[in-house]
């Protein structure tokens, strides 16, 4: 792989993103106990709902979930029936270990592994008219490994660190863009343009490396988190992510923790994103 | 924990600011290890003789939390409110 990074080609994207994120997370999660080692889990992350059982014993958690699109967004209802056009199955394992004792440093770690496999129906009209409809089902899959480490020395004013990483490979299908089909008229009236999808769905494999370093200095109400992401994006409909383009992104988060409400923070993140090689669809001001 | 016969319940809850982690130990044995985002509690029987409870809490700056100790049939319930200092606080008591 030959990575060329020309500063003349770098498009400086300075974007101030203000995120008001409750430390509960940006989704809604409901966890209820079924038996001593089994819980029921429902996680709503619009526009998807993930539901399924969770096994938890000692330091190990295993989840088998199914992800559905939210059919009724107003009431957050997802459904699966013969008309369901897409769903994804998820197998997730998490190892949590807390190493903290009655005295000494406070430290813990999490390691997670996640496998996703899904199926989705796509419809397109290669002839440019609604009579010639083609329906096709495509498989998508993704694989993810992540880890978090937390540490502080266990004294007032000691800094707190939580380095974390994630590696994800995904090959997800998406529908092609619509094309305007001109429909001529015979009575002299203006032509009609009908927007239709005429190309089959496409996929590009993406391999992402992410690393973040949350840091609290031990005083004041601010914490900081630089985060680095690198995406390898492969050619369309291929399996390898290394032969098309690469994108590097650096985010510099600063969080403020108000006194009230409890467990609430506000974050601001100037970021820069630039292609290192090839072309992708993410150019432009984001 | 042993057959001491004294029922015991301890609770930790964030009330102001941001709490990251709650820990509680009985005679050095960890009984609570959890996030400060939600209340944490433990109930069980205390061992015979002197029993030492220690809590350790991490968070941001001078966040506040409450410690609730219940000894049904033995002593009155107690509730303490503590403030972190520099993102950390610990407290120890004899039961």
Of B21, B28, B87, nearest to A216 by CB-CB distance is B87
DSSP A214: -
pLDDT in tens, B15-52: 999 999 999 999 999 999 999 999 999 999 888 888 89
Helix then strand count (H, E) for chain A reads: 0, 18
Compare A183 and A76 and report the one with higher pLDDT: A183
For testing contact with chain A, the best of B86, B89, B90, B92 (most A CBs within 10 A): B86
Whole-number pLDDT of residue B54 = 97
Which residues lie closer than 8 Å to A61 by C-beta, 6 or more apart?
Answer: A54, A55, A92, A93, A94, A95, A96
Separation of CA A255 from chain center: 21
Burial of A70 (0-12, 13-18, 19+ CB in 10 A): middle
Considering only CB atoms, which chain A residues are within 8 Å of B15? Answer: 262
Q: Are A205 and A239 in contact (CB under 8 A)?
A: yes
Residue A23 has pLDDT above 60, yes or no: no
Whole-number pLDDT of residue A172 = 86
Look at the pTM and tell me if it is higher than 0.80: no
B13: contact with A, CB 8 A cutoff: no
Residue A78 has pLDDT above 60, yes or no: no
Instruction: Give the chain A residue whose CA is nearest to the CA of B29.
Output: A102
CB contact under 8 A, B60 and A221: yes
Q: How far apart are the first and last CA of chain A?
A: 27
User: For chain A, how long is the longest CA-to-CA vector?
Assistant: 88
Closest of B55, B48, B51, B47 to residue B80, by C-alpha: B55
- The predicted complex's ipTM stands at 0.89
A282 pLDDT band (50/70/90 cuts)? low
Least confident piece of the model among A50-59, A85-94, A272-281, B86-95: A272-281
A71 pLDDT band (50/70/90 cuts)? low
- What does the buried/exposed string (b/e) look like for A2-34 if buried means 16 or more CB atoms within 10 Å of the residue's CB? eeeeeeeeeeebeeeeeeeeebeeeeeeeeeee
Residue A115 has pLDDT above 70, yes or no: yes
* Beta-bridge partner residues of A161: A151, A215
Residue A27 backbone zone (phi > 0: left; psi -120 to 50: alpha; other: beta): beta
B1/B46 Cα distance (integer angstroms): 6
> How many angstroms away from the CA of B22 is the closest CA of chain A?
11
DSSP A74: T
Other C-beta atoms within 10 Å of A270: how many? 14
Considering only CB atoms, which chain B residues are within 8 Å of A218? Answer: 86-88
Whole-number pLDDT of residue B56 = 97
Q: How many CA atoms lie within 13 A of A65 on its CB side?
A: 23
* Beta-bridge partner residues of B67: B12, B80
DSSP A84: -
A77/A47 Cα distance (integer angstroms): 10
């Amino acid at each position: 792989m030959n990575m060329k990074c020309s500063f003349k080609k770098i498009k400086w994207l300075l974007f101030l993103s203000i995120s008001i994120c409750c430390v509960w997370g940006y989704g809604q999660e409901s966890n209820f106990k079924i038996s001593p080692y089994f819980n029921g889990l429902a996680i709503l992350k619009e526009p998807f709902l993930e539901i399924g059982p969770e096994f938890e014993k000692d330091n190990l958690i295993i989840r088998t979930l199914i992800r559905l699109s939210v059919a009724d967004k107003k009431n957050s209802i997802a459904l699966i029936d013969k008309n369901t056009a897409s769903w994804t199955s998820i197998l997730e394992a998490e190892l949590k270990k807390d190493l903290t004792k009655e005295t000494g440093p406070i430290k813990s770690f999490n390691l997670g592994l996640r496998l996703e496999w899904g199926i989705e129906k796509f419809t397109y009209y290669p002839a440019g008219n609604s009579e010639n409809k083609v329906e096709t089902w495509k498989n998508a899959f993704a694989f993810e490994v992540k880890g978090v480490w937390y540490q502080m020395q266990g004294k007032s004013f000691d800094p707190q660190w939580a380095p974390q990483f994630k590696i994800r490979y995904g090959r997800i299908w998406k529908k092609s863009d619509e094309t305007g089909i001109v429909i001529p008229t015979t009575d002299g009236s203006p032509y009609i343009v009908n927007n239709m999808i005429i190309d089959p769905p496409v996929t590009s494999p993406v391999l992402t490396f992410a690393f973040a370093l949350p840091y609290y200095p031990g005083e004041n109400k601010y914490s900081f988190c630089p985060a680095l992401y690198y995406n390898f994006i492969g050619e369309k409909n291929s399996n390898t992510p290394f032969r098309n383009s690469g994108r590097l992104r650096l985010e510099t988060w600063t969080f403020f923790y108000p006194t009230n409400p409890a467990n609430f923070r506000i974050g601001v993140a100037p970021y820069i994103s630039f292609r290192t090689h090839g072309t992708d669809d993410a150019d432009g001001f984001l | 924990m042993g057959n001491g016969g004294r029922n015991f319940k301890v609770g930790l809850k964030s009330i102001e600011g941001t709490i990251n982690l709650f820990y509680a130990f009985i005679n050095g044995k960890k009984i609570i290890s959890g996030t400060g985002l939600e209340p944490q509690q433990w109930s069980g029987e205390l061992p015979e003789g002197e029993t030492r409870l220690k809590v350790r809490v991490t968070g941001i700056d001078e966040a506040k939390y409450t410690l609730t100790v219940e000894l049904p049939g033995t002593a009155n319930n107690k509730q303490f409110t503590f403030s972190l200092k520099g993102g950390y606080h610990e407290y120890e008591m004899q039961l």
